[in-house]
């Protein structure tokens, strides 16, 4: 006999439905607006017009290159740092955790203004390069990337893995590459996705430094073709969610494989 639905369950269902409406309704409205025209309820013409513009692929290529560079730099900096903190200086973890959230409270305008004054004094040509955005993106994504990696490190018995690897003659580099990183694969992929998604949506810094990236292109399109900009935003969201689903599936398969092997 089925159990009757209690009041707390009704409340949970109501909260879930309200949350789904709150998050999905704007995207559904944007999709309806972006993939339609007067007299045509569904069309890809708005999106096609966007990609036919001269600098569309230039902005997409630049953003993808920046996303890859920022992701690699973030992982190279934070993975060894977290390992050192967990193994050699666990008392500093709270300080590092507090410092990692500072980019969330510092406005992008203040960050860019201070950095621009500094770099113009020592290397005026640096900010002209597209690659000058990489350190800014690394800093802006640090709160998310740090927590994703820290969660992965905490899920491991890092001291035991390190001691076992050292006992068979592996040096620190071999231990990181062959022992620690394979066990942190889900955390590494999650951190990479978070950094990648941040770069795909970051507009303020690129605009202030006068670089032409995908978010800047999207805002520019919105001034002349709002339906095309809406369709482009929905497409970006769909691609991001597909990547998230793929990463979640890979993480579940990895955990299942570990349980089966153990």
| CA nearest to 150, candidates 237, 92, 103, 69 | 92
Domain regions of the chain by residue span: 48-256
The overall average pLDDT reported for the chain is 84
Cα(262)–Cα(14) distance, rounded to whole angstroms?
41
Digit-coded pLDDT (tens) for 35-64: 888 888 888 888 888 888 778 889 989 999
| CA nearest to 250, candidates 204, 188, 202, 194 | 188
| CA nearest to 130, candidates 222, 12, 210, 226 | 210
Cα(45)–Cα(58) distance, rounded to whole angstroms?
21
Cα(246)–Cα(229) distance, rounded to whole angstroms?
26
Question: Residue 134 pLDDT > 90, yes or no?
Answer: yes
- 139 confidence band (pLDDT: 50, 70, 90): very high
- 7 confidence band (pLDDT: 50, 70, 90): low
Digit-coded pLDDT (tens) for 203-227: 889 998 889 999 899 888 888 888 8
Question: Residue 102 pLDDT > 60, yes or no?
Answer: yes
Instruction: Give 40's strand partners.
Output: 37
Token pair listed for 150: 């820290």
For the residues 2-25, what does the mean pLDDT come to?
76
CATH of domain 48-256: 1.10.3720.10
CA 124 to chain centre: 29
pLDDT at residue 24, as a whole number: 85
**What percentage of the chain has pLDDT greater than the value 70?**
91
Question: Residue 23 pLDDT > 90, yes or no?
Answer: no
CB atoms within 10 A of CB 78: 22
């Amino acid at each position: 006999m089925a159990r009757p639905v209690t009041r707390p369950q009704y409340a949970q269902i109501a909260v879930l439905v309200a949350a789904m409406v709150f998050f999905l309704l704007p995207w559904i409205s944007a999709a309806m607006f972006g993939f339609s025209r007067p007299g045509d309820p569904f069309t890809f013409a708005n999106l096609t017009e966007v990609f036919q513009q001269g600098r569309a692929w230039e902005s997409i290529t630049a953003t993808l290159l920046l996303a890859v560079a920022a992701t690699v730099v973030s992982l190279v900096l934070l993975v060894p740092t977290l390992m050192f903190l967990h193994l050699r200086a666990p008392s500093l973890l709270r300080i590092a955790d507090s410092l990692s959230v500072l980019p969330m409270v510092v406005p992008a305008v203040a960050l860019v203004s201070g950095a621009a004054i500094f770099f113009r004094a020592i290397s005026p040509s640096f900010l002209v390069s597209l690659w000058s955005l990489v350190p800014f993106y690394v800093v802006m994504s640090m709160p998310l990337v740090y927590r994703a990696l820290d969660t992965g490190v905490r899920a491991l018995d890092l001291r035991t893995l390190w001691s076992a690897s050292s006992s068979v003659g592996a040096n620190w580099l071999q231990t990181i590459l062959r022992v620690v990183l394979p066990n942190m694969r889900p955390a590494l992929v999650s951190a990479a996705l978070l950094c990648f998604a941040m770069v795909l949506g970051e507009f303020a810094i690129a605009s202030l430094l006068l670089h032409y990236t995908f978010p800047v292109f999207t805002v520019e399109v919105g001034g002349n073709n709002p339906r095309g900009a809406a369709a482009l935003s929905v497409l970006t969201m769909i691609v991001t969610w597909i990547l998230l689903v793929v990463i979640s599936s890979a993480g579940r398969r990895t955990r299942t494989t570990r349980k089966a092997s153990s």
